[in-house]
Structure 1
Amino acid sequence: MSLQALYLSCLAHPAQALNSLALFFAIAGSWLLLATRMRQQRAMTRLSAAVALDGIEADGELDEATTQLNRFFSRFGLAVLTGALCLSWYSTQL
């Protein structure tokens, strides 16, 4: 019964349903960007601590795999946020 009420609500207010979906995507994309940034800061802190403890001169850059992973998640998060923005703009036209 509750699923039928939810379905009828989506049919009655399609713009609100799309805007809710856009809000969900925006929250997920922003969380992904924040988590990626925190992971990058932790890795840089870990790298600087290892350099300080070992006394080794380093160039201060992360390894290639970590850099590629951070770049992928940043691009994916931005794509999700862009999709959420487009979906929100589309919902205002309904």
Structure 2
Amino acid sequence: MPLFQAAWVFYLNNAALVLNSLALFYGLCGSWLILATQLRTLRARRLLSSDAGTLEEELPLASRKTSRLFSLVGCLCLGLALLLSVASAQF
């Protein structure tokens, strides 16, 4: 039996398990991305404050845009995980 055919048969027999596994994958990826973005932002602020001597320094615009994009993608992954988890309850 070819691999894709076996995967399709497994999906048809265990749809909720497959959707929950996919939701778990997206949830872990999204949460890791948000956590890594927060740590990156804290490290950048700490480096800026050690250079300037104050904690009030703002991050450069490119860094803020990058952090915002990564946080948005992380939130989208968490939202997709929630939708997949809710959809798996229908099976």
Q: How does 1:37-56 map to 2 (within 5 A)?
A: 37-52=38-53
**Matches of 2:66 and 2:23 in 1, distance apart?**
25
Q: Distance in 2 between matches of 1:91 and 1:13?
A: 10
Instruction: Tell me what 1:81 maps to.
Output: 78
- Aligned counterpart, 2:62: 65
Question: Are the equivalent residues in 1 in contact too, given 2:49–2:56 (CA < 8 A)?
Answer: no
CA contact (8 A) 2:24 2:81 kept: yes
In 1, Cα distance between equivalents of 2:84 and 2:9: 21
**Larger Rg belongs to:** 1
Structure 1 residue 6: Cα displacement: 3.9
Which sections of structure 1, spanning at least 5 residues, go unmatched? none
Gaps of 5+ in 2: none
Shift of 1:5: 4.2
Change (3 A) 1:2 1:20: farther
Q: Quick one: distance in 1 between partners of 2:39 and 2:88?
A: 32
- Identical pairs, percent: 43
TM normalised by structure 1 equals 0.85
Root-mean-square deviation (Å): 1.7
Query: Which residue of structure 2 lines up, in the alignment, with residue 93 of structure 1?
Result: 90
TM-score (normalizing by structure 2): 0.88
